Structure 1
Amino acid sequence: MGQARLMNQDMAASAPGELEELLASLIAIESHSEVPEQEMRLAVYIQQWFQDQGIECQLQEAIPGRPNVLARLVGSGGGQSLLLNGHLDTVPPYGMKGPFKAIRIGDRLYGRGSVDMKGALAAMMMTLASIHRSGVSMAGDVFFAGTIGEETYSPGAYHLARSGFRADYAVVGEPTGMRVGIAHKGVAWFEADFAGRSVHGSVPEQGVNAIYRASRWINYIQDHYLPKLKLRNHPLLGSPSLNIGMIQGGTRPVIVPNYCAIGFERRLLPGETAELALAELELTLAAVREEHPDFDGGIRIADNFHGVPHGPMGTSADSLLVKAMLEAYQTEFAAEDTPVNVEPIGLQFWTDGALLQEICPEIIVCGPGNIEQAHSDEEYIELGQLHSAYRMYVHSALALSGQAALGAEEERL
């Protein structure tokens, strides 16, 4: 009863249409890789918006000229802290028509970044603002972090994870249709090199064909390593995987190739790391070498993410954050005609949550909209989802960071 009263009080603190107007303002500010300083204008706008609300907010430079935004709603003390996080950057407009002028058609708001992920940013910003306006006393701090560069290699989340910041819980607002995502795979890229000896193609027996050596390893991967990966299983994510996506070797058909390079990726389950995967892959080389003593090859981790690890994410279904958001989801969607599935889900895409779990021990991915709309030329967000996100974020903030205040409220009733 106490939390319901606080929830109603908080909802009353936002004006009709304010959330949509805020999202339209965010969409209007370009923050993609084809504009100078990329996220800077958006970061400054968000900082000023929070300051106008009376909420402390600062810019923290993640890489030169590109800052994260960190706002803080200060609690009274004794409660647990909640971080609401989203990335500031979007992909370029590509073929999208009128990408930076939000257009409403029915229950949809179109614009670049509407679903990936300025819709979540707007809902998170309004969460802090409405709690502050309502005068509800929160026991713990509620944070907002807008981070840079997720569409490239996530330097913003990487910087935040190493800045000394800490929170007890975190919500990453990537689009999940407001389902509660508690796990996703990581990704690591690798390069394999195979040496040979070049001779004229008329006497191939006098040389060593590097492509043949590479094919021996590929065959071993297909026949032995991949079947072993299939035996591992995560209840929400399935099995880890490996995909060979590139192969390059040789110079001319008439010359035996002395070099062959392979590029591949390995998807990682929670508990796996790129380094552990590398150790396994080196064992595959040893197995081929045992069968073919003249075999020569090596594997290394490819630094395609500028040193930022892209590991997996995993949070227990027993987390208080998970339970609070599942309760909010059930409440929010119980009136719909279709049955409500309130079980947590696994995600097929990578998120900054993998980096932020280093500083927030309990973290989920939960945001408005459909991931299929992200990066598309018809990107839109359903306004019903946008408002559901706002209400669910408020619910989680009250349930987690407002716990001590709730106890006092209950005593007064």
Structure 2
Amino acid sequence: MAHNGVIRWKVSTQGVAAHSSNPSNGQSAISAMSKLILEFEKEYCSKISLTHPLTGQAACSVNTISGGTAVNIIPNFCEIEIDRRTLPGEDSEQVLKDMKAVLDSISLRDPTILIGTSTPFIDYPLDPIVNHGFAMQISQILIGMGLSSEQSGAGYGTDASTYSIAGIPAVVIGPGSINQAHTKDEWLEIAELDKSVLIYKQIMGYNFI
């Protein structure tokens, strides 16, 4: 009935290209980025301590990096992508402002770190308060089928929050486990799939008020 959201944000550093035979003629965007990552992880990522009783802990990590065009050229561009997991109840726009404030403060202290940013991808959390009534109705269906109606949350994200924000009540219910997803041998038990089909049939036939 609840899950976390995510902000994915590309952040770049600018440098000055030069031939690697004389590095002092240039300014490495990769070197600037290495300093930026260390400071950002120390000043922002490591200080995140928010938790939610259903979805766990908020998180932030730098997970991709690219830069440079050739081994004999001082790189004039480097880019990372930040992944920030947001909790139900957090304001994603405010989270973005807080991250930007940290990046700006790092750049202000070190003028060699010239930062650029892109438009972030924001996937909002699924708020259990907003969808409580609908979740309770789903629970009644499960009880009627003799199944567990325990409501829980997830640390990952789904499309359910998109429907919820649009005013369509949503919960996440289905077969399998996140532990099986995005793995080398992703799989699903047929029995779990068959059970889900029966549940979906009951949901579609239920008289929601």
Shorter-chain TM band: 0.7 to 0.9
Corresponding residue of 1:346: 153
CA RMSD in angstroms comes to 3.0
Q: 2 CA distance for matches of 1:246 and 1:276?
A: 23
1:370 counterpart letter in structure 2 = G
Q: Describe the SS at the equivalent of 1:366.
A: coil
Q: 2 CA distance for matches of 1:325 and 1:207?
A: 62
Q: Describe the SS at the equivalent of 2:117.
A: strand
Corresponding residue of 1:282: 100
Aligned in 2, Cα 1:233/1:387: closer, same or farther, shift over 3 Å? same
Q: Residue 292 of structure 1: CA displacement?
A: 1.6
Aligned in 2, Cα 1:363/1:217: closer, same or farther, shift over 3 Å? same
User: What do the CA deviations read for 1:272-310 (whole angstroms, capped 9, x no partner)?
Assistant: 45533331221122221243233211222246xxxxx52
Q: Describe the SS at the equivalent of 2:51.
A: coil
Q: Residue 203 of structure 1: CA displacement?
A: 3.1
Aligned in 2, Cα 1:283/1:366: closer, same or farther, shift over 3 Å? same
Corresponding residue of 2:35: 216
Report if the CA contact (8 A) 1:183-1:312 is conserved: yes
Report if the CA contact (8 A) 1:278-1:300 is conserved: no
Q: What does 1:149-160 align with in structure 2 at a 5 Å threshold?
A: none
Corresponding residue of 2:176: 370
Report if the CA contact (8 A) 1:193-1:261 is conserved: yes
Report if the CA contact (8 A) 2:16-2:28 is conserved: yes
Q: Describe the SS at the equivalent of 1:252.
A: coil
Q: 1 CA distance for matches of 2:130 and 2:89?
A: 16
Aligned in 2, Cα 1:378/1:386: closer, same or farther, shift over 3 Å? closer
The one of 77, 81, 98 aligned to 1:259: 77
2:146 counterpart letter in structure 1 = F
Structure with greater contact order relative to length (CA < 8 Å, sep ≥ 6): 2
Report if the CA contact (8 A) 1:217-1:288 is conserved: yes
**Paired residue total:** 204
Q: Residue 378 of structure 1: CA displacement?
A: 6.3
The one of 210, 225, 235 aligned to 2:53: 235
Instruction: Provide runs of 4+ in structure 1 moved above 4 Å.
Output: 371-379
TM-score, reference length from structure 1: 0.43
Aligned in 2, Cα 1:344/1:249: closer, same or farther, shift over 3 Å? same
Report if the CA contact (8 A) 1:281-1:299 is conserved: no
1:295 counterpart letter in structure 2 = I
User: Which segments of 5 or more consecutive residues in structure 2 lack a partner in the other structure?
Assistant: none
Q: 2 CA distance for matches of 1:184 and 1:378?
A: 21
Q: Describe the SS at the equivalent of 1:301.
A: coil
Report if the CA contact (8 A) 1:243-1:264 is conserved: yes
Aligned in 2, Cα 1:250/1:384: closer, same or farther, shift over 3 Å? closer
Q: Residue 211 of structure 1: CA displacement?
A: 0.7
Q: Describe the SS at the equivalent of 2:79.
A: strand
Report if the CA contact (8 A) 1:188-1:310 is conserved: yes
% same residue: 25
Corresponding residue of 2:17: 198
TM-score, reference length from structure 2: 0.79
Larger radius of gyration: 1
Q: Residue 226 of structure 1: CA displacement?
A: 1.1
User: What do the CA deviations read for 1:331-380 (whole angstroms, capped 9, x no partner)?
Assistant: 4336xxxxx5x43111244333212213436432223x224677957674
Aligned in 2, Cα 1:203/1:318: closer, same or farther, shift over 3 Å? closer
Q: Residue 316 of structure 1: CA displacement?
A: 1.8
User: Which segments of 5 or more consecutive residues in structure 1 lack a partner in the other structure?
Assistant: 1-181, 304-308, 335-339, 402-413
Corresponding residue of 1:248: 66
Aligned in 2, Cα 1:378/1:353: closer, same or farther, shift over 3 Å? closer
1:383 aligned to 2:194? yes
Report if the CA contact (8 A) 1:190-1:265 is conserved: yes
Report if the CA contact (8 A) 2:28-2:76 is conserved: yes
1:292 counterpart letter in structure 2 = D
Q: 1 CA distance for matches of 2:13 and 2:31?
A: 9
User: What do the CA deviations read for 1:74-101 (whole angstroms, capped 9, x no partner)?
Assistant: xxxxxxxxxxxxxxxxxxxxxxxxxxxx
Q: What does 1:71-220 align with in structure 2 at a 5 Å threshold?
A: 182-220=1-39
Aligned in 2, Cα 1:207/1:321: closer, same or farther, shift over 3 Å? same
The one of 225, 244, 268 aligned to 2:44: 225
User: What do the CA deviations read for 1:126-178 (whole angstroms, capped 9, x no partner)?
Assistant: xxxxxxxxxxxxxxxxxxxxxxxxxxxxxxxxxxxxxxxxxxxxxxxxxxxxx
Q: Describe the SS at the equivalent of 1:351.
A: coil
Report if the CA contact (8 A) 1:188-1:267 is conserved: yes
Q: Residue 327 of structure 1: CA displacement?
A: 3.2
Report if the CA contact (8 A) 2:66-2:79 is conserved: yes
1:313 aligned to 2:126? yes
Aligned in 2, Cα 1:299/1:274: closer, same or farther, shift over 3 Å? farther
Aligned in 2, Cα 1:333/1:221: closer, same or farther, shift over 3 Å? farther
